[in-house]
Amino acid sequence: MKIIIDTLGADKGYEEVVLGTLKAMDQHTGFEVLFVGPENKIKDVIGDKIDASRFSFLDTDCFIENTEEPTKALREKENASIVIGLKALLKEEYDGLLSCGSTGALLAGGTLIVKRIKNVKRPALMIMAPSLTTPFILMDVGANVDCTVEMLSQFAVMGSFYAKGILGKENPTVALLNIGSEEGKGDKLRKETFETLRNSSINFIGNIEARDIYFGKADVVVTDGFTGNTVLKTTEGVSMVLGKVIQDAIAKNAKTQEEMILCKNIFGAAARVFDFNKYGSAPLLGLNKPVFKSHGSSDKDIIAGGISNLIQYLEQGTNEEIKNILLKEF
C-alpha cells in the first residue's frame, strides 16, 4: 500500500504533517509514503526515525492558499503540492492521498484530475460528527450548494456504504435533514428526495430535524452543501459561545482552587466528546480513488488518526463497493 501525503497548506506547517505521518507509520507497518513538499526540510524532520525504504519525495515548496480561487489556482500553480499529489495519484502504484490544505482546491482538483466515479453527478464533502451515542456522517457540508434529487440520493448511498465499511454499521440508518420529521415536510427537493430514498435499497428512516442529529438518531444525515455547511458552522459557533459562558461561570463561582480544577476537568471531558477534529479525516466521496481531507489545524495526533482512517478505507475496499452499488442503482 502506497499513500501520498500533501505536507503543505496546514495551519501548523509541514513539520506537524510529517510528524503525524511518522506516528502513523509506527502504528501501521504495511504501507509506504510519498511526501509532497520541501524534500530537504522533510528529511530533516524524519532523520533516522523511519526506515528510508518506506518513503519517497516529490519536491515543491508551492501550495494553494485558502484565500485563492480554487480552479484558477489549479491552472496557474501546476507545481502546487495538491496538484502534484493528485496527478501522482493517477499512477496505479498509489492507493490514496491525504491533505490538510485548501478544501476548495482539493475538491476541484479531485474532480478535475482524479475524476468522478462513473454515474456520480458530483463528489460530496462529508464529515464525521460526534453525537451522544456514536459518531455519524453529515454530508454534504459545502461542496455542492445546489443539489438535485439524484445528487442527494447518491450522497445517501455513498454515505451508507461508508458507514458500513468504516463505522462498522451492519445496516446503517440514513435520514434526510429537513424542517420537520413528518412525511411531506420541506420544499420540492426534499419531498422528491424523500420519495426516491424511500424506494431505494438503503435503510432510509425518513426526515430528521437539525436539533435531533446530535442525539445519534441516524448514522448518516444527508443534505445539500449550503444547509450542511450552515449546520456545521452554527454548531461550531454555539460550541465556542457555550465554552466561553461555562469558563466564565467557573471563574466567577468556583470558591476554591480544587473546585475550579474539578469544574475545568469536567468541562474538558465534555468538550472532548463533541470535538469534530478527533476523527482525523474524511474522504471526498465519489472520486475514482480515495482523496482524504484533514482539518487545516490538525496536530500530529489527529493527522495520524486521519491516515489510519484512509488505511482502513483502503483495506475495507469501500471505494470499490461504492463504485459497484452506484453502477447498479444509477
Q: Do domains 1-120+286-317 and 121-279 have the same CATH topology?
A: yes
* Mean residue pLDDT across the chain: 92
Q: Which CATH code for domain 121-279?
A: 3.40.718.10
For the sheet with 291-293, list strands across it.
55-59, 32-37, 2-6, 96-99, 291-293, 282-285, 124-129, 136-139, 220-222, 173-177, 203-208
Q: Return the pLDDT at 147.
A: 96
Q: What is the dihedral of CA 101, 107, 109, 111, to 10 degrees?
A: 160
- For residue range 309-328, list pLDDT tens digits in order: 999 999 999 999 899 888 88
Q: How far is CA 301 from CA 23, 35, 243, 297, 307, in A?
A: 8, 18, 23, 11, 10
Class of domain 1-120+286-317: alpha beta
Read off the pTM. 0.88
∠ CA 282-31-12, rounded to 5°: 50
Picking from 8-12, 50-54, 144-148, which range would have the lowest pLDDT averaged per residue? 50-54
Q: Return the pLDDT at 248.
A: 85
The domains of the chain are located at 1-120+286-317, 121-279
| CA distance linking residue 140 with residue 221, whole number of Å | 9
- For residue range 29-42, list pLDDT tens digits in order: 989 999 999 999 99
Question: What average pLDDT does the segment 53-71 reach?
Answer: 95
